[in-house]
Homo-oligomer: A and B are copies of this chain.
């Protein structure tokens, strides 16, 4: 059947396909922390299992794409469970969800979703696809596309790396906050925000690139 290893490759290819125009062997190798030789070999197996379209053009088939979305659904539901039900912090849940996402039981997934009352987003603000693989539309934009002077709501983070989330905690940044853009520095991509009408926060480009917002004008 489909091993945990294959599930992780499919997930990696799905994520890379979201941003990159064409997914490369070396990009998959980098993301999986494996050698390009191993990836090349694995792509042959993925093709034989009907999970990618072609060995040259690394694109998921419908079957592969559906599998990826199922795994992402499970990952995000479990992260939500860990934070909402078991009182974990948002920086503690990713590595546990990496294990739980491979548990195979669609009944379990659906019961979990029901218990959590069908959440649309996980603790990092990421959208949770429904059981058919449809993502809710959250109409978010990266902080880098914000306009100075305007007001936004902090909606999600683009990575759930522990040290990145800790950095946000230290700056007092939390999902759902109102952010008014005080100024954006063209030179280095840094951003200065007013958080909840109270604190001013400076963010480097490195951080700003991984924050997503949606428009949220004051009423």
Contact = CB atoms under 8 A, between A and B. Distances in A.
A107 B104 CA distance: 22
A174 to B, nearest CB: 22
Interface string A113-155: 0010000000000000000000000000000000000000000
A88 interface: yes
B108 A82 contact: yes
Interface stretch (A24-32, A64-72, A95-103, A177-185): A95-103
B99 A112 contact: no
Interface residues of A, number: 19
Interface string A81-112: 01001111000100110011011110110011
22 contacts: A82-B108, A82-B111, A85-B115, A86-B108, A86-B111, A86-B112, A86-B115, A87-B111, A88-B107, A88-B111, A92-B107, A95-B105, A96-B103, A96-B105, A96-B108, A99-B102, A99-B103, A99-B104, A99-B105, A100-B100, A100-B103, A103-B103
